[in-house]
């Protein structure tokens, strides 16, 4: 990172959040702040509609086009900020038929209107832009375009930009807190190729002798990093699923040489997955727009209603089981995980990328739910226990707020283990299912915070998990259950970063199970057959004192 910028402003942004999630060596630049902070020039307007209209020159890796912004003024507006990476040129900004002035600062673009746009009114402007696309070096972990070819030598192109930024390839309000209500995506591609984007295909038309335009409409709110394009000479096949909200269309776009493999793999995974997920999480959130799997040159990404698939038609994660239990080898990891994001990430979206555990922890947990649906509850618990081997406890799961920064990658397996122990403590699967479905009903199609999610779990369960989530999300270490035994009497207490940490835990004594309620103070219990906490279902450290 570059030298720290505006420390006072940064601390102000963090003070109402978990400020301790910022590492001691983290410093942030003005560019980070412009990207990650909801300044007055971003919070003053609410995005209602985009029409992204682009043409991709694949041979020259060059993109050009425009994006229409329709918005509502939250406050009186004279100036606002949108975002576009510096390698892309803003050709002009047009407002009411005239070009208006703009100023660039890093990847932020500020425009000044000729007169004040009054609070509560709606208005619009269009940005015209062009430039060479950023080429991803290791998609989807870094952002940009992936250029490849199929076996016939035809182009195969896709984009991914989570974390990196949607403004790396199209102009938008690049902050996770503001999802556009609906959107048209028009992509012109060389003739003989097809573009697949989010939503429903409304029309195609010839834009010139050498290009075909594909027009896709997204009828639900969508986060900007989910907006996508996928270009190839695709084969298309389809199916449908009789779900909770009626008939859900299933559309698949794959390279022609992989059609037979795709039909087998998708048929084996998709419908059982929807049966499991709709039961536990509620109806698929985007029925009007349907569900698509689109083959991509990179591993995968949760693009809303157009999930990117690149797992090479293998079970597991590229043929490996991330849990080490064998339970992950009977299903396709990318189909299950990336579709799980349709509920957690695409439906429920965090306001700040610092809270990305809401996306990744819950979605990793959906893998265990799918295992449970296939192989039983005990198998799902074993899968969760198995993925602990991937936890590093290197830094907090929650990142620093207001600077577009994620926390530790532990948000995946550690976040899932946190949810599993939450379920174990609630100890009522009917209630737990009610919580998971309720989260999607309460927070779907809008953006939320950690405080929102934990507050809902507390309210619905009737138990206070605030200190539990504080420890697991905002500190790198897990709680330690210290104990010492004298005869048949055992003393025990929690050692944790959170003051007065208290979390119940189940213990086994012979064939019986007992709940204890440790705090930071010593407590004691008399046991006939030893002190054996349930370390299968609780991700904690056990330490015996002599």
Token pair listed for 341: 């994001």
> d(Cα 185, Cα 198) in Å, to the nearest integer?
8
Query: Looking at residue 352, what DSSP letter applies?
Result: S
**For each of the chain's 546 residues, which pLDDT tens digit applies?**
332 223 222 323 333 333 334 444 568 899 999 999 999 999 999 999 999 999 999 999 999 999 999 999 999 999 999 999 999 999 999 999 999 999 999 999 999 999 999 999 999 999 999 999 999 999 999 999 999 999 999 999 999 999 999 999 999 999 999 999 999 999 999 999 999 999 999 999 998 899 999 999 999 999 999 999 999 999 999 999 999 999 999 999 999 999 999 999 999 999 999 999 999 999 999 999 999 999 999 999 999 999 999 999 999 999 999 999 999 999 999 999 999 999 999 999 999 999 999 999 999 999 999 999 999 999 999 999 999 999 999 999 999 999 999 999 999 999 999 999 999 999 999 999 999 999 999 999 999 999 999 999 999 999 999 999 999 999 999 999 999 999 889 999 999 999 999 999 999 876 688 999 999 999 999 987 889 999 999 999 999 998
**Sole residue written with tokens 């965090």:** 350
> d(Cα 93, Cα 341) in Å, to the nearest integer?
35
Which H or E element spans position 491?
Answer: strand 489-495
> CA neighbours within 13 Å on the CB side: how many for 456?
17
Supply the CATH classification number for the domain 480-544: 2.60.40
Helix (H, G, I), strand (E, B) or coil at 304: coil
Cis bond upstream, residue 447 (ω within 30): no
* Burial of residue 526, with CB atoms counted within 10 A of its CB: 0-12 exposed, 13-18 middle, 19 or more buried: exposed
Query: Looking at residue 133, what DSSP letter applies?
Result: P
Q: What angle do CA 520, 525, 526 make, to 5 degrees?
A: 160
Q: Say if CB 156 and CB 258 are below 8 A apart.
A: no
Helix (H, G, I), strand (E, B) or coil at 469: helix
Dihedral Cα 301, 304, 305, 310, nearest 10 deg: -10
* pLDDT tens readout for residues 21-47: 444 456 889 999 999 999 999 999 999
DSSP 45-87: EEEEEEEEEEEEETTTTEEEEEEEEEEEESS-EEEEEEE--TT
Q: How far is CA 177 from the centre of its chain?
A: 13
Regarding pTM above 0.85, the answer is yes
> d(Cα 501, Cα 467) in Å, to the nearest integer?
6
* pLDDT tens readout for residues 126-175: 999 999 999 999 999 999 999 999 999 999 999 999 999 999 999 999 99
> d(Cα 83, Cα 167) in Å, to the nearest integer?
6
> d(Cα 432, Cα 460) in Å, to the nearest integer?
9
> d(Cα 388, Cα 384) in Å, to the nearest integer?
7
What is the β-pairing status of strands 541-544 and 480-486? parallel
């Amino acid at each position: 990172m570059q030298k720290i910028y505006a420390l006072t402003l940064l601390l102000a942004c963090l003070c109402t959040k978990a400020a301790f999630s910022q590492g001691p060596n983290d410093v942030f630049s003005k560019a980070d702040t412009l990207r990650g902070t909801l300044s007055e020039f971003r919070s003053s307007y609410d995005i209602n509609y985009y029409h992204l209209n682009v043409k991709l020159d694949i041979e020259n890796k060059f993109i050009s086009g425009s994006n229409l912004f329709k918005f509502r003024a939250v406050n009186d507006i004279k100036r606002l900020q949108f975002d576009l990476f510096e390698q892309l040129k803003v050709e002009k900004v047009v407002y009411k038929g005239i070009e208006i002035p703009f100023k660039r600062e890093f990847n932020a673009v500020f425009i000044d209107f000729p007169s004040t746009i009054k609070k509560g009114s709606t208005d619009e402007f269009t940005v015209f832009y062009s430039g060479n696309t950023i080429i991803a070096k290791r998609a989807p972990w870094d952002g940009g375009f992936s250029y490849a070819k199929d076996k016939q030598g035809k182009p195969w192109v896709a984009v991914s930009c989570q974390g990196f930024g949607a403004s790396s390839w199209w102009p938008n309000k690049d902050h996770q807190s503001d999802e556009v209500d609906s959107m048209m995506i028009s992509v012109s591609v060389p003739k003989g190729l097809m573009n697949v984007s989010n939503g429903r295909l409304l029309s195609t038309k010839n834009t010139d002798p050498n290009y075909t335009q594909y027009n896709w409409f997204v009828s639900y709110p969508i986060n900007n990093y989910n907006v996508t394009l996928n270009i190839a000479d695709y084969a298309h096949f389809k199916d449908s699923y009789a779900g909770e909200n009626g008939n859900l269309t299933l559309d698949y776009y794959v390279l022609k040489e992989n059609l037979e493999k795709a039909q087998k793999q998708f048929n084996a995974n998709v419908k059982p997955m929807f049966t499991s997920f709709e039961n536990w999480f509620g109806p698929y959130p985007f029925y009007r727009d349907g569900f698509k799997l689109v083959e991509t040159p990179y591993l995968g990404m949760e693009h809303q209603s157009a999930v990117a698939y690149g797992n090479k038609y293998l079970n597991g994660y590229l043929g490996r089981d991330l849990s080490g239990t064998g339970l992950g080898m009977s299903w396709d990891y990318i189909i299950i995980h990336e579709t799980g994001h349709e509920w957690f990430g695409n439906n429920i979206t965090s306001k700040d990328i610092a809270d990305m555990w809401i996306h990744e922890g819950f979605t990793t947990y959906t893998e265990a739910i799918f295992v449970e649906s296939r192989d039983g509850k005990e198998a799902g618990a074993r899968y969760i226990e198995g993925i602990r081997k991937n936890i590093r406890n290197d830094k907090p799961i929650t990142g620093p707020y207001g600077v577009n920064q994620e926390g530790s990658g532990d948000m995946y397996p550690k976040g899932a283990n946190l949810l599993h122990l939450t379920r174990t403590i609630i100890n009522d699967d009917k209630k737990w299912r009610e919580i998971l479905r309720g989260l999607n009903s309460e927070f779907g199609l809008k953006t939320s915070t950690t405080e929102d999610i934990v507050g809902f779990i507390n309210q619905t369960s009737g138990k206070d998990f605030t200190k539990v989530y504080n420890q697991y999300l905002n500190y790198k270490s897990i709680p330690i259950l210290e104990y010492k035994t004298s005869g048949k009497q055992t003393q025990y207490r929690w050692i944790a970063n959170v003051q007065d940490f208290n979390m119940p835990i189940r213990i086994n004594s012979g064939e019986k199970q007992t709940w204890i309620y440790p705090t930071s103070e010593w407590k004691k219990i008399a046991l006939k057959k030893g002190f054996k906490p349930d370390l299968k279902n609780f991700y904690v450290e056990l330490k015996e004192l002599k």
